[in-house]
Amino acid sequence: MHSIKPLPNIKDLSLDALREKFAGMGLPRYRADQVFQGLYRRGIEHFDEMTDLSVELRERLTSSFATVSLNCVEVFHSEDGTVKAVLQAHDAARIEAVLIPEPERTTLCVSTQVGCPLECDFCATGKMGFVRNLTTAEIVDQVFRMRALLDGERQITNLVFMGMGEPLLNLPNVIEALRIFLDPKGFAYGPRRITISTSGVVPKIRELLDAAPVNLAVSLHATTDEVRDVLVPLNRRFPLALLLGELRALMRQELVSKRHPVFFEYTLLADVNDSEADAHRLLQLLRGIPSKINVIPVNPHAGSIYRPPSEDAIHRFMGVLARARMPVTLRRSRGADIAAACGQLAQQKIHSQKDSPKTVKQAAQAADATIDTHEVCEK
């Protein structure tokens, strides 16, 4: 018995791609614009509800394209208002997306891969391993599925690509999704309302910023290669000097500037990277790069060897940065009670605490024995 081949999903196509597809079907350009705006400006996901189209065209589109790529299978509500949903694709792969409501905005934390290949040592998603990249439609559908969970008039105002996966290792699909998010006839988000986070896939950063002038966030987490090699194993392929050198080159081309600074994510781990000496090194590393630093005390999860610093240690670390007039924000955990905080998104059980390396040195030795960073970066 032969399986039925699924229809191509219309949400895989930016407006230019949709116009080209419609032209190949003998349909005029304005019909592509009409359908595109129906999907994203009006939120109509079923062609039979696009009543400004003829019945014949609606039937033709229904037989030519799928419109939904993810279904919501489970929802968790945090005491602080954060909402996490488990979303399932047609192949049964599952991802998580998170809504973070605040008084003046609502941020959606978007996933780009099922699992993650980078194995960052403090991150639960990295313990899942890598399954596959998300399609453009699956990235876009997270907005559709998650906004349906909002109450009243609240809208998703900001997107942060900080969920499961490394966005720059799925860059073609991420860029196509960005075209849909940014298009005035699509979701019409302003570029400064979208942030793409990377662990430092250096060759892809310029390609991202050339394609879309969105905010760039870099997951730094350490001030020496020795420590970062453990926390972010990708550093062995793209060490700090290479990563920061590329950002300085982008600054000279004005892809990074005072108006468009780089956001550096720095997860604080007790007795690992939280000393005043680390803070001073951080200032030296970022000298000359327009920067904003988000300090994030680590969110513990099952199997983690790391713990957050004391309040005094956090205060001392941030004090060094503040006294140097470095823009710095302390990002407190949101949704930790539903495992929705940074570094906690995971869909599989991870190894137990007793199986974890007990020291950073042991973790480095274990990682050296298992990771092929060249292979990771070619995926």
- Catalytic residue numbers read 96, 342
- Pair 11, 137: CB distance under 8 Å: yes
Q: What span, in angstroms and rounded, lies between the C-alpha atoms of 178 and 214?
A: 9
CB atoms within 10 A of CB 314: 17
Q: Residue type at 198? A: T
Residue 82's alpha-carbon distances to 67, 72, 340, in angstroms, are 27, 16, 8
Those residues whose C-beta lies under 8 Å from the C-beta of residue 368, and which sit 6 or more positions away, are: none
Q: What span, in angstroms and rounded, lies between the C-alpha atoms of 254 and 7?
A: 42
Nearest CA to 141 out of 180, 84, 100 is that of: 180
Chain position carrying tokens 């000279």: 252
- Please tell me whether residue 99 adopts helix, strand or coil conformation: strand
